[in-house]
Amino acid sequence: KEGCPISKQMMTNLFSSAYKPLSNLNIKAVCTLFLTSFRPASGFINKAQPPMSTAKYAKFDVAQFSCLDDNYGYLIHDPVTGDTAAVDTPDAKTYQSELDKRGWKLTHILNTHHHWDHTGGNLELKSGGAMVYGANADADRLPGLDVALAPNDTMKFGNSEGHIIDVGGHTNGHIAFYFPENDCVFVGDSLFSLGCGKMFEGTPSQFWGSLKRLRSLPDETTIYCAHEYTTGNAKFAMSVEPGNTDLVSRNKEILAKRSRGEPTVPSLMKEEKATNPFLRGDVSEEIRNNVGATDSDSFDVVFGKIRRAKDTFRG
């Protein structure tokens, strides 16, 4: 969960070491069957898959669809220039199918970070002529990288300009793609609906700084994150800030959506600012008290305590 990638190779190694006597079995086939059949319970996409949707913005359209077990895939399309970007590439076949349905040709691949469930389809999709954009800090971990980007860089996509935001913490080279003219940001695993990614490579100070940069975006910014984790995130949020009436209302809406098989992503920045505990450590005394923060703790330390509380949460 929370952007924790388990690759097919990792599963192959696990099964191989555990069942060495079963040498005649096709271990990779077993692992592939396991990965394509397994569905974790709480907070993941249920059997009623969310409908394919396309949102229209000032200068481009965004198509959203399900990928793998709990990833969301995104295609951005400029109807004037014909440019089309894949935001991360969890699964090349799913992306190609979505492109074919719409008659779009892929021109850009925008990688938020290096994890396999965000870059696994890079090379196959790039073979059609698309250019891969990603963080220069992750140049050696992004397959097929063509254009290396640094924080505060801008990039041209169709008639829009993308702004690169440093959102390191989940991984050190994590970036977000912000399109101010279209009021939307693609955040990968840095910020989730009511949550944030696990801190695999970064520090609390680094991650808190990243989340503050995202929080500074306009309230009406639409946030496209990479996973459907909201149900589990809401349980944790309610455990640390049960007195937040906005959160109570949002939790009810989330449960209703998931019961109908609908996605809870995207969300608006104003919703996250009002209800996401990882953005509220400096404004909510209730959260600070419930994670054991003290008056002497700096807010990055408070964030670290919130993150650790979520890591061990079993609600």
Nearest alpha-carbon partner for 192 in 310, 309, 86, 67: 310
Q: Which of 77, 108, 170, 174 is catalytic?
A: 170
108 is catalytic: no
Q: Which of 88, 91, 138, 189 is catalytic?
A: 189
The three-state secondary structure class of 304 is helix
Q: Which of 77, 108, 114, 115 is catalytic?
A: 115
Length of the chain: 315
Q: Which of 88, 118, 138, 174 is catalytic?
A: 118
- The residues pairing with 110 across neighbouring beta strands, listed in sequence order, are 87, 133
* Distance (Å) of CA 192 to CA 42, 155, 189, 266: 15, 24, 7, 9
170 is catalytic: yes
The three state secondary structure string of 41-107 is CCCCCCCCCCCCEEEECCCCEEEEEEECCCEEEEEEECCCCCCEEEECCCCHHHHHHHHHHHCCCCC
Q: Which of 77, 108, 113, 174 is catalytic?
A: 113
Question: Is the Cα dihedral 185, 266, 131, 1 positive or negative?
Answer: positive
78 is catalytic: no
In this structure, are residues 151 and 164 in contact, taking their beta carbons and an 8 Å threshold? yes
163 is catalytic: no
* Distance (Å) of CA 184 to CA 59, 76, 149, 163, 282: 11, 11, 19, 11, 25
Phi, psi of 172 (to 5 degrees): -70, -30
Tokens 């169709």 correspond to what residue? 158
Tokens 């100070």 correspond to what residue? 205
Q: Which of 70, 83, 117, 166 is catalytic?
A: 117
Which residues are tagged catalytic? Answer: 113, 115, 117-118, 170, 189, 227
